[in-house]
Structure 1
Amino acid sequence: MSATSGSENSVTIRQLDHSDQQVIDQMFPLLQQLTTTVQPESIAMALDHSGTMVFVATKQSTLVGTGSLCWTACLTGVRVHIEDIVIDRAHRNQGIATRLLTALVDAAQHQLHAKSIDLTSRPDRVAANALYQKLGFVPRDTNVYRYQPTSPQ
């Protein structure tokens, strides 16, 4: 899947694979704009995982955004989570996040036949939350729980 517009500075949205090492090499610094806990080996793990699709937004050969679809085949249908949406600070407010999310939703619906598509976002990410709602995501009335396993000793 690829989506481009016509100008020389156009943004291409596509699924990433191991063959594009130039873009993969740019992934770690971009993800650090989202969280400081990211590990370089997590990128390879995501690309290798059969339940994950990593999408990228590029301008020519420069990585300007990324997002992932993570899915699980449950007894009640395929459930998809959108994860790790990051647009490079220098390229925000240009519609890239909208195009990236649209591509992710399209892949979840048409390739994975998802019964639902979820994402989470911290309340302090006001612009991101407004965008998600503008694109049709609605807050769920549910509790989200997290269990933090202890490190092996």
Structure 2
Amino acid sequence: MANVQIIEAAEVTPELVAAFERLIPQLSSSNPAPTETELAAICESEASVLLIAVDRDAEDQILGSLTLAWFRIPTGVRAWIEDVVVDEAARGHGVGELLNRAALDRARELGAKTVDLTSRPSREAANRLYQRIGFVARDTNVYRYNLDS
């Protein structure tokens, strides 16, 4: 996997849809893969970018993805990394690091002051990666309000 490139998904292709059908179950057992329409909304959004890792030596097979979202608030531009997933077969080869570093570079270009992410404690390898590349655990609580209830 020496020839992995991180690119911005600019359009929805059958390969992109198939990749998410394969990747999302590896990320979440409670959420379905996005539809073609949902992927198009992400690709067309002005507030997020869908980064994908492709293997140039394997006909641009999609190995993983993440979404970088950003927004302006009174104290500056903030960015969030969400839904990081690397195919099980590609884990341990630096794909997650390449995706995260590309997201950090893009956030810098956008003028973000910080980049946040969350990661379940059970994702030990992911947490080690985030710490190794410079993320620091914050002394804060993360709350969620479920609008479906």
User: Shorter chain as normaliser: what TM range?
Assistant: 0.7 to 0.9
Match of 1:15 in 2: 8
* Correspondence for 2:49 among 37, 53, 58: 53
Tell me by how many angstroms 1:23 deviates: 2.7
Percent of aligned positions that are identical: 38
Match of 2:32 in 1: 38
Measured in 2, the distance between the counterparts of 1:150 and 1:65 equals: 29
TM-score (norm 2): 0.88
* SS of residue paired to 1:32: helix
* SS of residue paired to 1:18: coil
Residue identity matched to 2:3: S
Tell me by how many angstroms 1:21 deviates: 4.2
* SS of residue paired to 1:117: strand
Judge conservation of contact 2:12–2:43 (CA < 8 Å) in 1. no
* SS of residue paired to 1:144: coil
* Correspondence for 1:125 among 115, 123, 126: 123
The alignment covers a number of residue pairs equal to 143
Residues 86 and 13 of structure 1, relative CA distance in 2, 3 Å threshold: same
Map 1:65-144 onto structure 2 (within 5 A): 65-110=64-109, 112-144=110-142
**More relative contact order, 1 or 2 (CA 8 Å, 6+ apart):** 2
After superposition, what is the alpha-carbon deviation per residue over 1:18-52, rounded to whole angstroms, capped at 9, x for unaligned? 16442343223212210131342342332232111
Residues 47 and 84 of structure 1, relative CA distance in 2, 3 Å threshold: same
Match of 1:4 in 2: none
Measured in 1, the distance between the counterparts of 2:33 and 2:5 equals: 26
Structure 2: runs of 5+ lacking an equivalent: none
Measured in 1, the distance between the counterparts of 2:74 and 2:127 equals: 30
Measured in 2, the distance between the counterparts of 1:39 and 1:45 equals: 14
Tell me by how many angstroms 1:106 deviates: 0.5
Judge conservation of contact 2:71–2:79 (CA < 8 Å) in 1. yes
Measured in 2, the distance between the counterparts of 1:80 and 1:101 equals: 12
Structure 1: runs of 5+ lacking an equivalent: 1-6
Judge conservation of contact 1:27–1:63 (CA < 8 Å) in 2. no
